[in-house]
Amino acid sequence: MGTLVCATWEPAGNVEEIQRLIRQRVRELENRLSIFKQTSQVVALSRILNAGSEDILKKFRSSLFHSSNVYSLAESVEVGLENHDAGAELLFRLEDILQANRFSSDLARVMEASVKFANLTQGAFYPFLGRQMHVWKKLVAERANREFELSDSIIDFGGIAKGYAADQVRDLVVSKGGKNVVVSFGSSSISIAGDPVCVGLQSPWEGLEEFGHLLLTHPALSVSADTATRIGSGKRVSHVLDPSTGKPAFTDLVAVLVCTADGMECEAWATAFLVLGLERAMDLDATQQHIDTVFFTADGRVLASPNLQITAHPGVQQWLEAQRVRTQ
């Protein structure tokens, strides 16, 4: 999936065999969920939808974005019912396609979770913007003089599949007797089992490399961020698209960290909150008592759930205050 995978654990049993099983499982997930492989199952599913079933995706999208105030929580009851109906219809159609083509349970689980969190976030998380996302990533890559292969997939699991994969690898190691397991996919999606883990937190702001660290006690963590944001400057680069516009999501949030029991849920909420912006994200966050969050704002503020144990490096608070004063 275009990322680095790292797994550590206290040795148990045949370490080389566990390593082999991890590599095998990661290859399986790559072949099923990655849009970077033209032979993957998710790309095959996209082609089937393109061939005649994409209408159900359009109906689902319309049900999410029918209101001029797309993310209005006041309408959540009425809109949620309509979204549920369209989401149920989409899942019913997809179930037939998945079974007919003998697609994997991995693909089915991630698809089901994607529809669920698209509903819960009122479309702020929406993994069916594949073409628009690929075009935007290609433009960013070209500006950075990097190669990027443009995919024709209308589904992009980049905002949820790594969380699922990290949980899968963690559970695999645990099933083989491994203890104190830590699995990281690209450092933005982490799954653990056993003792709490001290996780370093990079800074999303230009001029500050590291913010501090978090003592991770939840089974999973995900971060969605627009890095190298200059405090007080309007110049930013966003890797996340606002599904309601198809354009980069520039809000007053530059990074969001989410901790909970499930890696897919962490990823979906982190992406959604970054799209929504601080006020709407905090309103929605308040309805999800089982997750803990950290919001990093464009003007240098950090707002964290009281359950999280976060420590900033010495001098960071003073640096942030100085940046805010400079830009006033």
* DSSP secondary structure letters along 250-274: --SEEEEEEEES-HHHHHHHHHHHH
Give the chain's domains with CATH numbers.
41-124 (no CATH), 157-327 (3.10.520.10)
Name the one residue in this structure whose structure tokens are 């995978």.
5
Contact indicator for 204, 225 with CB cutoff of 8 Å: yes
Contact indicator for 290, 261 with CB cutoff of 8 Å: yes
- pLDDT (0 to 100) of residue 285: 95
Poorest-confidence range of 48-62, 275-289, 311-325? 48-62
Written as six digits, the tokens of 278 are 């601080």
Does the pLDDT at position 121 exceed 80? yes
- pLDDT (0 to 100) of residue 149: 52
CA dihedral of residues 79, 85, 90, 92 (deg, nearest 10): 160
Tell me the pLDDT band of 51, cut-offs 50, 70 and 90. Answer: confident
CA distances from 180 to 9, 10, 114, 152, 192 (A): 5, 6, 29, 40, 7
3-state helix, strand, coil in the chain (%, to 5): 45, 20, 35
- pLDDT (0 to 100) of residue 105: 94
- pLDDT (0 to 100) of residue 79: 38
- pLDDT (0 to 100) of residue 305: 96
- pLDDT (0 to 100) of residue 76: 36
Q: Which residue has the higher pLDDT, 92 or 203?
A: 203
Written as six digits, the tokens of 267 are 């990823």
Which neighbouring-strand residues pair with 303? 295
pTM of the predicted model, to two decimals?
0.86
Written as six digits, the tokens of 137 are 């990533």
Q: Where are the beta strands (DSSP E) in the chain?
A: 5-10, 179-185, 189-193, 197-202, 210-216, 220-225, 241-242, 247-248, 253-260, 292-297, 302-304, 309-312
- pLDDT (0 to 100) of residue 221: 98
Does the pLDDT at position 67 exceed 70? no
Find all residues with CB under 8 Å of 22, minimum gap 6, and list them.
5, 7, 169, 172, 173
pLDDT digits (tens, 9 = 90+) for 157-208: 888 999 999 999 999 999 999 999 999 998 899 999 999 999 999 999 888 8
